[in-house]
Structure formats: C-alpha cells, structure tokens
Amino acid sequence: MSGPATPGQGHDHGQGHRHEAGLDSDRGPSADASVGKAGLNDLPALGIVQAAVWQEAYDGIVPPEVHAAFQPAAFAAGWRESVSNPPPGVYELLVARAGGQVVGFAAIAPSQDPDAGQTTGEIIALGVHPHGRRQGHGSRLVNACVDRLREAGAEHVAAWVLVPHEQTRAFLAAAGLTPDGAYRDRVVSPDGATAREARLVAHIGAAPDTPAPQSPGAPPSAGPSPRSDSPPSPE
C-alpha cells in the first residue's frame, strides 16, 4: 500500500500498507485458513512473505539499492520491537496462515494523517505471498483489520495505495474502501524521489455522519512500514 520504509529503520506509523502489494482477487476459501495476531515466532516467515511482496510491488518504483534491501531478515528485525513492545494506541500485526504456514500479513494503527481524527484507523501494511493468492487470504486479512479497529471504537478506516497499483485499488474497493480524493507523494529513495499514493476510506462505525477528530493513540515505533518518509524499504 504506500511507500516502503528502510529495513531496520523506525517509521512514522508502524509498517503498513501498504498495503496493497500482492493482493489478487480472491478465488475462494482454502482449507485450514486462518488469521491471527502475529507472535515473535511468526516473524521469520513473515519476513519472507513481506520480502517477496515488496520486491514485486516496488519493482521499477524504487531505485535498485533500495529494492536490494528488501530482505526477509531485515523485515523480521524491523517488526520485532513492535511485536515485543506494542506502541501506545490501537496497533496490531496480523498474519494469515494456510495450515501452519504464514502466507500473508497486515498491520493496523491509528491514522496519522493531518485531517484524520481519533476515530480513524488505518491498514498500514497488507500483503499475500505470490504463491498464496486467490485463496481468500487477502479478504480475511482486511476483514480482520476492520473487525479489530471497530472493536477498538474506530468509525473510519483508511489505506494508502500506490497510484499505479490499479489491481490493489480494485481489491480494496471490492472490500468497501473508496477513494476520497486525497493524494500524497511519498519519498521512496535517498535522493528524494517520490511515488504518488491515493487514499481509500470506508466508514465502519455506527455514525456515518460523525466527523473523525484527532487520531487515537500514538504511532508504532518499529517495523518496516510503508508509512516512513525515510528512504524506502519493504511494506
């Protein structure tokens, strides 16, 4: 979903999203498929998934030296602190499993957008391994993110997606998120190159006309998130 953060670096939002990379239209359910909160033991496998997703999603978007940094160990290390010591606010890292194997991941956090309010949460990272797509994992991850945000009192959910990623936007639109007209240029390289992202939003609470005030909680402090303004790395 949005631009990558350099492996091992801190980020402004926790690891998103962004979200978007590696999400094909789901074909149908798979046996023994589940979504749950990520634990420390999941991080090596999650790193493998994220590296595969980011390498594909940011090919041709980030410079070669940044693309080369999308490595499993770097991503796993980036998430470790966030999982061990979750930052304040509504933050959670989820993994999708097929049997016992991690095939996808997602992360949620309070939105840090200037115009967001305390009832707005964000899917800051989302991806499914290329070999695990079209089996419903992406939809289950999005549903789990929305359920957790709603349980925490969120009334709105947002996600930032790279403009060229039309398939990801279509996937999220099918899940109920629609563009709200907001764009941003995310720094994706040490020399200041940028990539344009579009924001998709959905109302998930009980009061559609209630404006969202200031964002709930503080942003996560670690994990390779697409929400970093520093030189990119995997989302």
pLDDT score at 225: 40
Q: What is the pLDDT of residues 63-100, one digit of tens each?
A: 999 999 999 999 999 999 889 988 878 899 999 999 88
Q: How many residues does the chain have?
A: 235
- The per-residue pLDDT for 228 is 33
| Token pair for 174 | 């099918």
Q: Tens digits of per-residue pLDDT, 192-203?
A: 999 999 999 999
The Cα 80–Cα 15 span in angstroms is 12
Over the Cα atoms of the chain, what is R_g? 16
Coil, helix or strand at residue 39 = coil
Which residues of the chain fall below pLDDT 50?
A: 2-20, 25-29, 207-235
Q: What is the pLDDT of residue 22?
A: 53
H/E element, 142: helix 137-151
